[in-house]
A and B are shown apart, each in its own frame.
Chain A
Amino acid sequence: MGKRRGVSAVATAMSVAVGAGTAAVATATPAAATTGVTASRLQGANRYATAAAVAQASFPSGATAAIVASGVTFPDALAGSYAAGRLRAPALLTDPNQLSPETAAALSALHVAGVTVVGGTAAVSDNVVAQLRSAGYTVQRVAGADRYGTAAAVAQSFPASFVGSYGTGGPTALIATGLAFPDALAGGPMSYDASFPILLTTTSSLPTTTQSALQSLGIKQAVVLGGSAAVSPAVIQQLRGMGITTTQIGGADRTQTATMVADIEANQFAWTMTHVNLARGDDFADALVGGVHAGVEKEPVVLAANPDTLGSYTTSWLSSRSSTISSIHVLGGTSAVSDATMNAAVAAAR
């Protein structure tokens, strides 16, 4: 698909802001001049409001169910994209101890009837569950004994027949370290759209809960996200010993890994790359909910190294895809991705 070019077009920064349950669209300062690439923000006053804004942008007609995960700790939330994809459900975040008001408002606005809480009570407390039930939602919790168990539980909450395939390799899972969030989150859009469960591992060995899930789901192929520093050759050998073929995708850092995943999404799944989502890479919240958003759009999420730095790999990738990219969604406000970083992304994609 050709890219729209306007010689005198001005990139506009549109802002979808959610605060206290109300959404507003406002035109902000132009991100850059004389480019055909537009940038807009999906943002709120905090991570919960940003998640709400992203969810409502992703599901403008509402949703039957929603995923709710912790907005404070990442481990139990990493696998949520798979559940969201199978349910075609938005992902929302909450304070672990009380239901965030922005989330409550979003659930109501989306006309959700059922909520699936991902994570144990340390991640999302029973008090939050009680608040959800009190508000009239059916609630079920999917959790394991630890982060690895929770990811396995999410994967096994759906029949094995739901698992998608990568190429001709048979049922496929994404494997990422459970000790950090960036690699697992990079796989979020693909997990959502292509139906690949996300399972977690330690660096040096495959947890037994992960092994059990791989076997029960009949996984034949694993796409390992992250380099050997995140997932060691020993884990790869364990996977192969289970009769699972592996493809490891690891960049020099989290931003490059995200761009490598984006290339797979373009090359293997024919995502158009006319639109890109940009999230900060040094925190998990925006990228987590952005993964679902990107899965809905069938467009990638790439990461900024930090709020004030786009990073060389992301810059290079945006430049390499400039022939197709015509718009960018920035996930979060200026404290998450600064205007300067957003402008740098627009300039790179120009």
Chain B
Amino acid sequence: MGVTNDRPKAGSSETVSNSATACVPGSPVTVALTFVAPTSTPASFGSTTVDNSGSFSVTGTIPSNANPGVWVIFATCNDAGGNTNVYTATIVVLPAQAGSGLRSAQAGRAVPASGATQSHVAGGVGSGGAAAGGSPASAAAVGGSAADPGSSNWSPPATWGTPALRALVAPAVSAAAASAPVVLAVGSHPVVAHTTGALGSSAPWRDGVEGLAGLVGLTGLVRLQRRHQHRRRNRWNSRRRTSHGSHRRPSAMRRIFGTKPRGQW
């Protein structure tokens, strides 16, 4: 089962979906979420019916008072044999006020359904929740949907910042060759030193760029550059590579984030 954001904030909306399930078309699907704790009582998330292709999609709201931490969203429906099928996805609910630490503030990833499902009788619960990397969603807005930035048809989700920002980011990502390292920059200052993986299927690359772009993009100050261009044009960048101390240019960061993300710059 897939989710649009695997690390939503309490009170935010979330869409879960699954395709080509074994469930009977037209049969009801109930979706709930449960905190991983022995005394947890599942909370209702929503319900729908299975469509003719065996797929379903439900949009609900993460309870505003949800405990921060690891939760499981699960959907149940019946197959033709009357067996109960359970589909799950793991999410980490972040505090509604999350934003001080990068891991909390980092944009969640959309997790596509992988189709790993099993019926109750056949031997257990399948979870399609393996984080296989997917489309980005911004930290502050849920529901962004786009192809992988490594693919040719990628475009920034509509939830990313301003139209001008999206127009700026898309060509840079599309133009970068599959092997080209990239640097995410605010103004002329690179802010993600570790985002140097190859553009394409590299999860660290995606997470770094999508996460920071999602965040910084809200301010409209982000731009994406290919690293070799950056090297030529920005003397500061070369100093950054030789001296960690030169990372400490907090004024631009503080203008964006307000506070210093712990341990990041």
Closest 4 pairs (CB-CB, A-B)? A164-B124, A195-B124, A136-B103, A114-B92
Of the listed residues B38, B102, B124, B204, the one surrounded by the most CB atoms of chain A closer than 10 A to its CB is B124
| CB-contact partner of B125 in A62, A157, A164, A268, under 8 A | A164
Interface residues of B in 61-105 (CB under 8 A from A): 67-70, 72, 74, 76, 84, 86, 88, 90-94, 101-104
| CB-contact partner of B76 in A60, A138, A161, A194, under 8 A | A161
Residues of chain A whose beta carbon lies under 8 Å from any beta carbon of chain B: 59-65, 83, 85-89, 109, 111, 113-116, 134-140, 142, 144, 152-153, 156-159, 161-166, 168, 171, 193-196, 268-269
Q: Is the CB of B124 within 8 A of A138?
A: no
User: In the complex, what residue of chain A is closest to B261 when comparing beta carbons?
Assistant: A136
Q: Is the CB of B70 within 8 A of A65?
A: yes
A-B contacts besides A61-B133, A138-B92, A142-B37, 7 pairs, CB < 8 Å: A115-B70, A116-B36, A138-B68, A152-B38, A193-B124, A195-B123, A196-B124
Q: Is the CB of A89 within 8 A of B90?
A: yes
Of the listed residues A85, A114, A193, the one surrounded by the most CB atoms of chain B closer than 10 A to its CB is A114
Give chain A residues whose Cβ lies under 8 Å from the Cβ of B131: 59, 61-64, 88, 111
Q: Which of B51-59, B114-122, B224-232 contacts A (4 or more CB under 8 A)?
A: B114-122
Q: Is the CB of B69 within 8 A of A139?
A: yes
Give chain A residues whose Cβ lies under 8 Å from the Cβ of B132: 61
Give chain A residues whose Cβ lies under 8 Å from the Cβ of B129: 64, 87-88
Task: Report how far A163 CA is from B130 CA in the complex, Å.
Answer: 19
Q: Is the CB of B6 within 8 A of A64?
A: yes
Give chain A residues whose Cβ lies under 8 Å from the Cβ of B92: 64-65, 113-114, 138
Task: Report how far A156 CA is from B120 CA in the complex, Å.
Answer: 17
30 A-B pairs in the complex with CB atoms less than 8 angstroms apart: A62-B203, A64-B129, A65-B90, A65-B92, A85-B127, A86-B88, A86-B127, A87-B72, A88-B90, A109-B204, A111-B203, A113-B104, A113-B106, A113-B108, A136-B103, A136-B262, A138-B68, A140-B69, A140-B70, A142-B38, A144-B38, A157-B36, A157-B37, A162-B74, A163-B125, A165-B121, A168-B121, A171-B120, A196-B124, A269-B123
Q: Is the CB of B86 within 8 A of A153?
A: no
In angstroms, how far is the closest chain A Cβ from the Cβ of B52?
A: 25
Of the listed residues B70, B111, B262, the one surrounded by the most CB atoms of chain A closer than 10 A to its CB is B70
* B7 interfacial contact with A, CB 8 Å: yes
Q: In the complex, which range does the number of interface residues on chain B fall in? A: 35 or more
Give chain A residues whose Cβ lies under 8 Å from the Cβ of B34: 158-159
Give chain B residues whose Cβ lies under 8 Å from the Cβ of A168: 121
User: In the complex, what residue of chain B is closest to A143 when comparing beta carbons?
Assistant: B38
Task: Report how far A226 CA is from B67 CA in the complex, Å.
Answer: 39
| CB-contact partner of A165 in B76, B90, B123, under 8 A | B123
Q: Is the CB of A158 within 8 A of B103?
A: no
Would you give the 0/1 interface string for B14-41, flagging 1 where the beta carbon is closer than 8 Å to chain A?
A: 0000000000000000000011111010
Give chain A residues whose Cβ lies under 8 Å from the Cβ of B6: 64, 113
Give chain B residues whose Cβ lies under 8 Å from the Cβ of A171: 120
In angstroms, how far is the closest chain A Cβ from the Cβ of B71?
A: 8
Q: Is the CB of B84 within 8 A of A161?
A: yes
| CB-contact partner of B70 in A138, A159, A196, under 8 A | A138
Task: Report how far A85 CA is from B125 CA in the complex, Å.
Answer: 9
Residues of chain B whose beta carbon lies under 8 Å from any beta carbon of chain A: 6-7, 34-38, 40, 42, 67-70, 72, 74, 76, 84, 86, 88, 90-94, 101-104, 106, 108-109, 111, 118, 120-125, 127, 129-133, 203-204, 207, 262-263
User: In the complex, what residue of chain B is closest to A65 when comparing beta carbons?
Assistant: B70
Give chain B residues whose Cβ lies under 8 Å from the Cβ of A158: 34, 36, 72
In angstroms, how far is the closest chain B Cβ from the Cβ of A101?
A: 14
User: In the complex, what residue of chain A is closest to B132 when comparing beta carbons?
Assistant: A61
Give chain A residues whose Cβ lies under 8 Å from the Cβ of B133: 61-62
In angstroms, how far is the closest chain B Cβ from the Cβ of A65?
A: 5
Task: Report how far A341 CA is from B45 CA in the complex, Å.
Answer: 52
Task: Report how far A146 CA is from B176 CA in the complex, Å.
Answer: 55
In angstroms, how far is the closest chain B Cβ from the Cβ of A321?
A: 21
Q: Is the CB of A156 within 8 A of B38?
A: yes
In angstroms, how far is the closest chain B Cβ from the Cβ of A140?
A: 4
Give chain B residues whose Cβ lies under 8 Å from the Cβ of A113: 6-7, 92, 94, 103-104, 106, 108
Give chain B residues whose Cβ lies under 8 Å from the Cβ of A89: 90
Q: Is the CB of B123 within 8 A of A114?
A: no
Q: Is the CB of B36 within 8 A of A142?
A: yes
Q: Is the CB of A164 within 8 A of B104?
A: no
In angstroms, how far is the closest chain B Cβ from the Cβ of A156?
A: 4
